[in-house]
Amino acid sequence: MNKFALIGHPLGHSMSPLIHEKLFALSGLSDSSYELIDIAPEDIAGSRRLLEDLRGLNVTIPHKQAVISLVDELADSAQRYNSVNCISNDGGRLTGYNTDCDGFLRSAELLPIGGNVAILGCGGVGRMIAIEVARHGGNITLAVIPQDVKNAQLLMAEILAKCSDASVRIADISTLEGSYDLLINATPVGMYPKVDACAVSDTVIENSLSVFDVIYNPTETLLMKKARALGKTAVGGASMLVYQAVKAHEIWYGGQFSAEDISKIILDVENAVDSMNK
């Protein structure tokens, strides 16, 4: 039996087992299991033996940085963000990866991330997205609330250190102006159960050609609804969630999946989320 797991704390309802079990089934790996393992922050430092018992694992809050000291090697993606959300076990040698960036890039591959991009928020996922957009030549506007300006300034400095020719500016999210090729919501505004909230004005949405929302619950946020009503392309967070899991299977055992299979899993996740909210 090949054992895989998600570690974090606290672990509430998670879509990870659904996604990974479907990916194992597509790969014909009936002898593989996927479980949720809740590890308290004070116990993570002594968890190396537990990790060694797993063929591979995913890592979520608050352990994405704490596990770095437990692995033997960091892939480039994990080094770039100083954050690990996926670990492979190759004969007892543990390697840490960051597949969140792969999840974003693959789910947004048809979106203009190399154009003028407004990113709402500068937290964990916003930081990763901003750096990836910069790496792909995008002109970035970090739109944040006043109390996050200092964090945005730190992020801007980090982006410029990694991509010296990047174009980055900071704006107040409440007075955001301009036209954008892509509007990315990396805040929790609009997340279930507060589904009637939207992080930006209708004018900003009207002035954006396309939208990406990292939120996957609800499957269609108010931001996405407004964008689609205007005939714009809008991509939700379920695709990012699935694609980062797909990358993990590619790392763990060389899994290969068709675009059609992945689309079906994304739809399954969206249907599961919708059913959960009824």
Active site residues per annotation: 64
Rounded Cα distance between 111 and 234, Å, is 9
Indicate the helix (H) or strand (E) that contains 49: helix 48-52
CA-based nearest residue to 66, from 80, 53, 78: 78
Whether residue 37 contacts residue 7, with contact meaning beta carbons closer than 8 Å, is answered with yes
Phi, psi of 234 (to 5 degrees): -140, 125
Whether residue 66 contacts residue 82, with contact meaning beta carbons closer than 8 Å, is answered with no
Residues 6+ apart with CB under 8 A from 42: none
Rounded Cα distance between 24 and 1, Å, is 12
Whether residue 125 contacts residue 108, with contact meaning beta carbons closer than 8 Å, is answered with no
